[in-house]
Amino acid sequence: MIVGALAVNCYTFARTTKDADFLLGVKMGGIEEVAKHLPANFLIDPQPRMELITGSYRWIINVVGSDFCVEMFHLSDDARHQEEFTRRRQASLSSIGRTFWVPAPEDLVIQKLRWARSKDLDDARNIIAVQADALDFGYIEKWCREHGTWVRFEEIRRSIPEI
């Protein structure tokens, strides 16, 4: 499943990104198996890094000859990560004949409010503004209250001008 900025941009307007992020629904050892099937110029750093908020792991793949890199995230046992993966949606790129998976927009908002860096809050605001009534606010509220980010969500929602 594609996550990060590329997934966010599916639901709002384009912003820049330095990488392509993938969440893989495999066991920890499965990441190494996936890496074996990558092109030779994709160099994986064998040392995973732990994300400090949810405890999930990430591998960085540098692409020789490119400024762009790929990050692969391991699907953790975190209850919300599991639900996010279950709720994923299929999207298609007809111009290149490919389909891919992305999280539902509600799950991106919830995650962005949890990380809460300035770019995350901008992403959350933009998704809420573009998707508006298409969002399941009850679902967002349930997880935001669980994470203690509901006040943050309400502040962002209030900051959106009437459209």
Partner 1 sequence: MNEFQPLIDQLYREQILDARAQSLERRFLGTFEITDFAYSVSRDGVDMQFPDASLEERQRQWQRRLRIQRYLSEEGIYSPKRIPAKE
Question: Residue numbers of the site for partner 1 (CB under 8 A)?
Answer: 5-6, 9-18, 49-53, 58, 67-68, 91-95, 115, 117, 119, 126, 129-130, 161, 163
* CB-nearer residue toward partner 1: 36 or 158: 158
* CB-nearer residue toward partner 1: 33 or 159: 159
* CB-nearer residue toward partner 1: 17 or 157: 17
Distances (CA, A) of 10 to 15, 32, 41, 130: 11, 28, 28, 11
Q: Output the smallest distance, CB 85 to partner 1, in A.
A: 20
Q: Output the smallest distance, CB 125 to partner 1, in A.
A: 9
* CB-nearer residue toward partner 1: 17 or 150: 17
The DSSP line for 5-54 is: HHHHHHHS-----SEEEEEE-S-HHHHHHHHHTS-TTEEE-SS-EE-TTT
Q: Output the smallest distance, CB 21 to partner 1, in A.
A: 12
Q: Output the smallest distance, CB 144 to partner 1, in A.
A: 18
Distances (CA, A) of 18 to 2, 15, 63, 82, 140: 14, 10, 12, 26, 28
